[in-house]
């Protein structure tokens, strides 16, 4: 004998869920895309304008500026799969740039020290930068999105 559970559901509740599902899904997708677009523009210099950040997102993703602006502000009615893919890739690349910049900054801070443990740390940071594709001067990733 199988375990079969029957749930009694009010039909009006099911209709309201069906009515809400597509819009809430597209709103959530729009919010995620807006968040990714903002992450893709990073790092942002101090005093940067939003227009400049949207331009960086547009250039890094290949999405037209007007479309990138709509996505940025969450005004896009739909987000194509390819757009979400390039936004994710650009956001990931931006995170790598920030991480590599942090490692390079730590390396520059340690450069002036003569302590033995600092020399070992410098060698380790140089190795990290070499493996991850950054350099001690600017920490640029090997592949730009």
Instruction: Name the H helices within the chain.
Output: 11-40, 50-61, 65-72, 81-110, 116-132
Q: Give every residue of the chain whose pLDDT is below 70, as ranges.
A: 1-27, 134-145
Q: What is the pLDDT of residue 113?
A: 81
The answer to pTM > 0.85 is no
Q: What is the pLDDT of residue 135?
A: 58
Q: What is the pLDDT of residue 8?
A: 41
Q: Is the peptide bond before 89 cis (omega within 30 degrees of 0)?
A: no
Q: Are 41 and 51 in contact (CB under 8 A)?
A: no
Q: What is the pLDDT of residue 31?
A: 93
pLDDT above 70 as % of the chain: 73
The encoded tokens of residue 60 equal 């890094």
Q: Are 87 and 71 in contact (CB under 8 A)?
A: yes
């Amino acid at each position: 004998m199988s375990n079969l559970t029957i749930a009694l559901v009010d039909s009006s509740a099911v209709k309201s869920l069906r009515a809400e599902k597509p819009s809430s899904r597209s709103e959530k997708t729009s919010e995620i895309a807006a968040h990714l677009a903002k992450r893709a523009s990073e790092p942002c210099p101090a005093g940067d304008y939003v227009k400049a950040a949207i331009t960086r997102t547009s250039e890094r993703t290949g999405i037209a500026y007007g479309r990138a602006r709509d996505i940025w502000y969450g005004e896009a009615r739909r987000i194509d799969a390819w757009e979400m893919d390039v936004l994710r890739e650009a956001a990931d690349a931006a995170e790598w740039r920030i991480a590599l910049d942090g490692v390079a900054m730590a390396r520059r801070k340690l450069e002036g020290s003569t302590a033995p443990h600092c020399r070992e740390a410098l060698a380790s940071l140089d190795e990290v930068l070499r493996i991850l594709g950054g350099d001690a001067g600017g920490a640029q990733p090997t592949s730009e999105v």
